[in-house]
Amino acid sequence: MKEQLPRADKNNIVISVSGLVKSFGQLQVLKNVSLDVYKGENLVVLGRSGSGKSVLIKIIAGLLAPDEGTVNVLGNEVNKLDFKGLQAYRRRIGFLFQSSALYDSMTVRENLEFPLVRNKRNLSMKEVKEAVEGVLESVGLPDSINKIPSELSGGQRKRIGIARTLILHPEIMLYDEPTAGLDPITCVEINHLINKVQKEYNATSVIITHDLTCAKETGDSVAILYEGQFIERGSFEEVFKTSNTIVRQFYDYNFTTTK
């Protein structure tokens, strides 16, 4: 179970989602969703595939527009930002895509330099070098700097993806299925890294997953998304003490080995 650290500031809401609705054609994916996330909190959004989890964080990141509702993040009403405002906003947000989204033709060094040079043009080459080396130390992969993504394992690519988001020192981290496709030992390492990012960078995080071990190990709180609506929220223990049969079935099917 995640060590409970007094990091979440319950007086400071940094993500506030209200009345969110999103459809694709005739399929309504999010149905009047509301959610608050506190500064310094690791919030896990847990749900089955197709429940709307990834759509939710893409809307938070400004990658998708909602049909109805508001998304206020760090004082910005995201769906009302113009192009320039959206660019500035995204520099404050770190997004780890499920695929890690690394450039295959670039070395690890070049993958990390790219967002830094693009967004902070006044940095010297020495400052860029120090930033790259520092963030690789943070994720435990300093020796990977001259490798290309195809030479890395799945877990290493996830770590480099996290490093690429951290290099801009984001205030909020959005993780889309961070342990998907990884072996159990590597999943544990990624879970520890997510907690390390929270502690060392004082980051607020939303972690999208259907992995109950990830939820238990990383989440200060857990929100269950089912068919486009939140049906439970609380600590991991509080959520799974419920008599709600939908939640219990999710637990029994996916989480039979960890007590």
Alpha-carbon distances, residue 16 vs 33, 59, 116, 135 (angstroms): 11, 12, 28, 29
Q: State yes or no: pLDDT of 5 exceeds 60.
A: no
Domain ranges for the chain, please list them: 10-92+172-254, 103-169
Alpha-carbon gap, residue 246 to 46, rounded angstroms: 12
Check if the beta carbon of residue 46 is closer than 8 Å to that of residue 209: yes
* Beta-sheet pairing, 76-77 with 68-73: antiparallel
**Residues 6-38 pLDDT 10s:** 456 778 999 999 999 999 999 999 999 999 999
| Chain position carrying tokens 């690519």 | 157
Instruction: Determine what percent of the chain falls in helix, strand and coil, rounding each to the nearest 5.
Output: 40, 25, 35
pLDDT band at 4 (very low <50, low <70, confident <90, very high): low
Identify the weakest region by mean pLDDT among 34-38, 51-55, 215-219, 242-246: 242-246
Alpha-carbon gap, residue 224 to 47, rounded angstroms: 6
Check if the beta carbon of residue 14 is closer than 8 Å to that of residue 175: no
Domain topology for 10-92+172-254: Rossmann fold (3.40.50)
**Residues 107-145 pLDDT 10s:** 999 999 998 888 887 889 999 999 999 999 999 999 999
Alpha-carbon distances, residue 130 vs 123, 142, 173 (angstroms): 11, 12, 22
**What pLDDT score was predicted for residue 2?**
61
Alpha-carbon distances, residue 81 vs 12, 24, 224 (angstroms): 22, 22, 29
Give first-to-last CA distance, the chain, whole Å. 9
State pTM to two decimals: 0.88
Alpha-carbon gap, residue 201 to 209, rounded angstroms: 22
Would you tell me the crossing angle of helices 108-119 and 125-138 to the nearest 10 degrees?
Answer: 120
How would you list the strands of the sheet with 68-73, edge to edge?
A: 27-39, 9-24, 68-73, 76-77
**Residues 152-204 pLDDT 10s:** 998 899 999 999 999 999 999 999 999 988 899 999 999 999 999 999 888 99
